[in-house]
Structure 1
Amino acid sequence: MASKTVSYDFTGRTLFLTGAAGGIPGAIAKLFAASGANLFLTDLHPESLAALAGEIGNGVPLATHPLDVSDPDAVSRAAAACRDRFGQIDFVVTGAGLYEDGTVEGMADDVWQRGISVNLDGVFHAVRACLPHMPDGGAVVNIASMAGHRGSFGHAPYAAAKGAVLALTRSLAQEVASRGIRCNAISPGLIDTPMVRGLMQERGGDMLKMTPLGRLGTPEDVAGVAAFLCSESAAFLTAESIHVNGGLYIAS
């Protein structure tokens, strides 16, 4: 059974979220909304952003902003728009991602570049653009993946980018520590999202058998960890990667 998510008090603090319409980022947006945060939600698809805003409902300080994270100028404009709307950026969560199938042999250059551009460059662009607008004591949470630790058959650009995100997170944590800004990563395993459902159709049964907790994770499972990492409960936690995979990482 999935655990209940605990909310925090983020009243008056602002979240800059990329890939907000995705399964995990969408759950993060809803939890931060329930915790009182201002939300600046970005995604490549405006209609999906509008749908998410509708689900969150009225009364939440919220702005949506269409954004391609692979475009550094567009990301800089988005960060400035967030500052203009809410005054500052307290939390950055990089949820935008791209997961395409294909083995390395015969892979077209554009497939490789697209995966790196979204999954790695997009994280760099977002963090770099937001840092000048962050006060001391803010927090960055990068959504990595178990694939960044283990690799992933047929998804080399994704796995390579996520592995680099882990190194970027550790490097950034050292650079911003003097400002009291903490930078951590979350490495989800099998989470019940559209991205994972195709994989589950192919070999999900075997993977669930190897998962000690015996179920898929939920987006809410990851959202709770993101909120914890942004909260004062994680005040002495930085440069870390937290696995959210029901034990699959060690079991396999």
Structure 2
Amino acid sequence: MFDFSEKTAVITGAASGIGRATAEYFLNCGANVVLADLDQEGSRKAARECDPSGVRTLCVCYDAGSSASAAAVVEAAVARFGGIDQLATCAGIYQQSFVPDMTDEDWRRTQSVNLDGVFYITRAAGRVMRDGGAIATVASIAAHVGGTGGHAHYGASKGGVLAYTRGLAKDLAPRIRANSVSPGLIETPMTTGLIERSGEDIRRQILVGRYGRPSEIASVIAFLCSDAASFVNGEVIIASGGAYIG
């Protein structure tokens, strides 16, 4: 565990999966945590379970595809805790659609949430984050290998997150660091359908012999946002259990 005492972290997609695990991890490290998610009941439940007193948590309704929503999250975080030190962009969608059948809306919705959303929240937070702050974006192994069939739009969005994060690191330097993590197949509500369809085939490609746990990505995010990673900037950590070695 890292010492995040007196730090404030904004975690998007905090109601479930990697986002929820990250919120819990940061709280256990002593941080104040803003749980931002469209699923307000889910984020409130996570906050109650991780911080029963409610002193160190704030739940904010958040639509990743909305610039105004991103600005509102940042404004609420500053109003409640006085500033922002850390940001983890865990919000995302993963919907199957093969290119010949993909609608314009399928494509745009995925880019809006997975890529535009990262831009909106990092832009808003980057304007007010305290010096020495850190941003961790969540990309995907799909950014490196193109993803499974039916997810070209998802792979494209996550490839964009990687490229954007590298540019973001340059634009915010030296005041704020920005890095990315590319998870492999992690057992979350978002990946349930994929695991049911082809999970066993994918599992056989994972060198550690199992799917990842959300907490295992949360710990990487925490590392990237910690002083232990103070000389790490504009980088990506692939956490795939050895499914991708590149």
TM-score, length basis structure 1: 0.94
Tell me which amino acid in the other structure corresponds to 2:37: D
Match of residue 37 from structure 2: 43
Match of residue 233 from structure 1: 228
Gaps of 5+ in 1: 1-6
Counting only pairs closer than 5 Å after superposition, residues 38-187 of structure 1 correspond to structure 2 as 38-59=32-53, 60-152=55-147, 153-179=149-175, 181-187=176-182
Tell me which amino acid in the other structure corresponds to 2:145: R
Counting only pairs closer than 5 Å after superposition, residues 212-223 of structure 1 correspond to structure 2 as 212-223=207-218
- How far 1:250 moved relative to its partner? 2.6
- How far 1:112 moved relative to its partner? 0.6
Conservation of the 8 A alpha-carbon contact between 1:228 and 1:234: yes
Gaps of 5+ in 2: none
Task: String of CA shifts for 1:90-145, please: whole Å, max 9, x gaps.
Answer: 00100110111111112111111100000000000000011121111100000000
Tell me which amino acid in the other structure corresponds to 1:105: P
Tell me which amino acid in the other structure corresponds to 1:85: R
Which structure 1 residue ranges, 4+ long, deviate > 3 Å from structure 2? none
Please give the alpha-carbon distance, in whole angstroms, between the structure 1 residues aligned to 2:31 and 2:184: 27
Conservation of the 8 A alpha-carbon contact between 1:22 and 1:96: no
Conservation of the 8 A alpha-carbon contact between 2:16 and 2:43: no
Tell me which amino acid in the other structure corresponds to 2:236: S
Conservation of the 8 A alpha-carbon contact between 2:187 and 2:211: yes
Please give the alpha-carbon distance, in whole angstroms, between the structure 2 residues aligned to 1:201 and 1:162: 22
- How far 1:156 moved relative to its partner? 1.7
- Aligned match for 1:13, one of 7, 16, 32: 7
Conservation of the 8 A alpha-carbon contact between 2:15 and 2:40: no
- How far 1:197 moved relative to its partner? 2.3
Please give the alpha-carbon distance, in whole angstroms, between the structure 1 residues aligned to 2:73 and 2:220: 25
Please give the alpha-carbon distance, in whole angstroms, between the structure 2 residues aligned to 1:27 and 1:174: 28
Conservation of the 8 A alpha-carbon contact between 2:137 and 2:179: yes
Identical-residue share of aligned pairs (%) = 44
- How far 1:81 moved relative to its partner? 1.1
Please give the alpha-carbon distance, in whole angstroms, between the structure 2 residues aligned to 1:64 and 1:206: 38
Tell me which amino acid in the other structure corresponds to 2:240: N
- How far 1:78 moved relative to its partner? 1.5
- How far 1:159 moved relative to its partner? 0.9
* SS of match in other structure, 2:245: helix
* SS of match in other structure, 2:9: strand
Counting only pairs closer than 5 Å after superposition, residues 23-38 of structure 1 correspond to structure 2 as 23-38=17-32
Aligned length: 244
TM-score, length basis structure 2: 0.96
